Structure 1
Amino acid sequence: MTPRVSVVIPVYNEGEGVVRHLERILREVLLPAEILVVHDMPEDTTIPYAREIARKDPRVRTVLNTYGRGPANAIRFGIDAAKAPVAVVTMADGCDDPRQIDDLARLVDRGVVVAAASRYMPGGQQVGGPRFKRMASRWAGRTLHWFARVGTRDATNSFKAYDTDFVREVGIESNTGFEIGIELTAKANRLRRPVAEIPTIWLDRQLGESHFDLGRFMPSYLRWYFFAFGRRLPAEQLAARWAARRPDAAPADRDKEGTRA
Structure 2
Amino acid sequence: MKPRVSVVIPVYNEGENIVRCLDRILREVLLPAEILVVHDMPEDTTVPYTQEIARKDPRVRAVLNTYGRGPANAIRFGIAAAQAPVAVVTMADGCDDPRQIDELARLVERGVVVAAASRYMPGGQQVGGPRFKRMLSRWAGRTLHIFARAGTRDATNSFKAYDTEFVREVGIESRTGFEIGLELTAKATRLGRPVAEIPTIWLDRQLGESQFDLGRFMPGYLRWYFFAYGRRLTSERLAARRPAGLPTQRRAAAQESSANEFQDAR
- TM interval, short-chain normalised: over 0.9
Tell me what 1:131 maps to: 131
The alignment partner of 1:35 has SS state of strand
Instruction: Quote the sequence identity (%).
Output: 87
1:166-208, CA deviations, whole angstroms, 9 ceiling, x for partnerless residues? 0000000000000000000000000000000000000000000
Deviation at residue 15 of structure 1 after TM alignment: 0.3
C-alpha contact 1:170 1:242 (8 A) present in aligned 2: no
Distance 1:69 1:33 in 2: 26
For 2:157 and 2:240, locate their aligned partners in 1 and report how far apart those are by CA, in whole Å. 27
Q: Deviations over 1:203-245 (max 9, x none)?
A: 0000000000001000100000000000001111223434735
Please give the secondary structure, in 2, of the residue aligned with 1:169. helix
**Counterparts in 2 of 1:70-219, with a 5 A limit?**
70-219=70-219
In the TM superposition, what are the counterparts of 1:217-236 in structure 2 within 5 Å? 217-236=217-236
Deviation, structure 1 residue 78: 0.3
1: CA distance between counterparts of 2:57 and 2:203?
27
Q: Name the SS for the 1:208 alignment partner.
A: coil
Q: Over residues 13-46 of structure 1, what are the superposed CA-to-partner deviations in whole Å (9 max), with x where a residue is unaligned?
A: 0000010010000000000000000000000000
If the length of structure 2 is used for normalisation, what is the TM-score?
A: 0.92
Aligned AA for 1:208? Answer: G
Question: Aligned letter for 2:121?
Answer: M
Matched residue of 1:2: which SS?
coil
Instruction: List structure 1 segments (4+ residues) > 6 angstroms apart after TM superposition.
Output: none
Query: What residue in structure 1 maps to residue 254 of structure 2?
Result: none
Aligned to 1:21: 21
Alpha carbons of 1:130 and 1:226: their partners in 2 closer, same or farther (altered >3 Å)? same
Look up the equivalent residue of 2:79 and give its one-letter code.
I
The answer to whether structure 1 residue 65 and structure 2 residue 65 are counterparts is yes
Q: CA deviation at 1:247?
A: 5.1
TM-score, normalization by structure 1: 0.93
Aligned mates of 1:127, 1:14 — CA distance in 2: 22
Q: Classify the secondary structure of the residue corresponding to 1:87.
A: strand
CA deviation after TM superposition for structure 1 residue 84, in Å: 0.2
Question: Shift in Å at residue 246 of structure 1?
Answer: 1.6
RMSD of aligned alpha carbons: 1.3
Hey, what's the Cα distance between the residues in 2 that align with 1:239 and 1:35? 30
Structure 2: gaps of 5 or more residues = 249-266
Instruction: State the AA in 2 paired with 1:26.
Output: L
Q: Which runs of 5+ in 1 are unaligned?
A: 249-261
**Structure 1 counterpart of 2:255:** none
